[in-house]
Amino acid sequence: MNSVPAVEVDGVSKNYGSVSALKPTSFAVPEGRYFVLLGPSGGGKTTTLRMIAGLIRPTTGRVRIGGRDVTDQPANRRDTAMVFQGFALFPHMTVEQNVAYGLELRRLPKDELRDRTAAMLRLVGLTGFEARRPSALSGGQQQRVQLARALVLQTSIVLLDEPLAALDATLRKDMCFELKHIQESVGTTFIHVTHNQEEAMTVADEIALIAAGTLVESGSPREVYETPRCRFTAEFIGENAVFSGPIVEGALRIGGAAPFVRDAEPPLAISVAAENIDLHLQQPDLEQTLPGTVVDVFYLGFSALLHVEVDGGPVVPVRLLSKELDAGIKSGGRVWLSWDPDHARMHTA
């Protein structure tokens, strides 16, 4: 593998008038990675993607692709191909024509063009659909055509802007697996924008969390889920109980309960994943417990989700196996929460 990153975003920002869509942001995407920009809507992730594609110009900063500065290059000169949100196909062309259009513009010989188009349609599982119009395809199929259209150009980077947002949940899940397989089989660098964390976790080698115009943190799906550095990450990814409170004698107090963290430096919050919280029906004989009241019980099949209002503290999620509900857990009941100190994560920001 090459040591030069496939894409390097270096201090890139975008302002629309006085509104800042993206504050100066830097990250690098190694070659062959499936990189996901994850974050809430309006956070600046699509803006970032479009600046990599060359569809909008950054206000400041440079974009490098394969080590080459492409900031001043238009979209068609960049070694990127885009899969757009929604079903962005040419409605008057057949599936085959849609995929082949980019190759035609590149003046490929007829038979090579046909072979590459056919190979791509096979890859995305649309052999036999060549002569159909986009209007005669399902949403998932249309997005496959878009993917084939992007991949057939054999660019070193494929950009995907919310490619699955318009699909229903089941289809979205299947398409996630498929996207991952396709990316692994072609080895192209994928940069994928989504607001859906499950989608991001499924496909990504690396996730960059973007919110409010800043890159919050990045890491592998496992890292951002299990050991988030920032409080925002803990709130956005997975289900986490996030506690913050007054610092008393260098320790965080939650409600009236015992101090939790020694030698804390403010500002500080701690978070615990919902599935790592232990629930007790009697006060346990532990140094650190939080009393609270069950507010809601949601049965979700294999697991159950509780909302527990900590006395003098926030309402936090707690995950249990559904069979644990039989112990007599019900809405309005008194419970005590505790966790293994190793599972508590500290956030300074």
Partner 1 sequence: MFRSFNAGGTAPARRSLWQVIVDDHGPGRIVLWIPLVFMVAFFLIPLALTLVWSVFERTMFWMEPGFTLAAYQDFFGSGRVDSFLNSVKSAAVTVAVAFILGFPIAVFVRRSVPAHAQHQAVLLFILPFMISEVIRLFALRPVLGRNGIVNDLLMSIGLVDEPISALLFTPTSVVIGEVLSFLPFMVFCGFLAMEAVPDYVFELCDDIGSGLVVTLRRVIIPLAAPGIFAAAIFIFVNSLGLFLVPDLLGGPGAANAGTLVVNAIAALDFPLAMAIAAIMVTMMVALLLIGHWLFDLTKLLEPFR
Q: Which stretch binds partner 1 (CB under 8 A): 84-92, 206-214, 232-240, 330-338?
A: 84-92
Position 17 contacts partner 1 (CB under 8 A): no
The minimum distance between CB 265 and partner 1, in angstroms, equals: 47
C-beta contacts of 73-79 below 8 A and 24+ residues apart: 78/53, 78/54, 79/155, 79/156, 79/157
- Please pick, from the candidates 21, 82, 200, 203, the single residue that binds partner 1 as defined by CB under 8 A: 82
Between CA 142 and CA 67 the distance in angstroms is 33
Site string for partner 1, 50-69 (x = CB under 8 A): ---xxx--------------
* Residues linked to residue 188 through DSSP beta bridges, in sequence order: none
Tokens representing residue 255 in the block: 């409600």
Residue 107: burial class (beta carbons within 10 Å; 0-12, 13-18, 19+): exposed
Q: Which of 3, 41, 76, 185 binds partner 1 (CB under 8 A)?
A: 76
28 interacts with partner 1 by CB under 8 A: no
Ramachandran angles phi, psi of 258, nearest 5°: -60, 150
Phi and psi angles of residue 341, each rounded to the nearest 5 degrees, phi first:
-55, -25
C-alpha torsion angle, residues 46, 231, 11, 155 (rounded to 10): -40
129 near partner 1 (CB under 8 A): no
Under rule CB under 8 A, residue 276 binds partner 1: no
CB of 73 vs partner 1, minimal distance in Å: 12
Q: Is 49 in the site for partner 1 (CB under 8 A)?
A: no
334-338 and 278-280 as β-strands: parallel, antiparallel, unpaired?
antiparallel
Binding mask 170-209 for partner 1 (x = CB under 8 A): ----------------------------------------
Report the residue number, 2 or 135, with the smaller CB distance to partner 1. 135
Separation between Cα atoms, residue 41 and residue 259, nearest integer Å: 37
3-state DSSP assignment of residue 18:
coil
Q: How far is the CB of 309 from partner 1 (least distance, A)?
A: 40
159 or 272, CB closer to partner 1?
Answer: 159
The Cα–Cα gap between 304 and 287 comes to: 27
Q: Which is nearer to partner 1, 90 or 298 (CB)?
A: 90
The yes or no reply on residue 105 touching partner 1 (CB under 8 A) is yes
Degrees to nearest 5, angle at CA 65 with 60 and 68: 85
Which listed residue (4, 28, 75, 186) binds partner 1 by CB under 8 A? 75
Q: Partners of 335 in the beta sheet?
A: 292
Select from 11, 42, 67, 74 the one that contacts partner 1 (CB under 8 A): 74
**Is residue 82 left, alpha or beta, with left meaning phi > 0 and alpha meaning psi from -120 to 50?**
beta
Q: Does 139 bind partner 1 (CB under 8 A)?
A: no
**What sign does the CA torsion over 208, 82, 170, 124 have?**
negative
Number of residues lying near partner 1 (CB under 8 A)? 22
Could you say whether residue 84 binds partner 1 (CB under 8 A)? Answer: yes
Chain contacts with partner 1 (rule: CB under 8 A) = 53-55, 74-77, 80-82, 84, 86, 88, 90-92, 101-102, 105-106, 149, 153
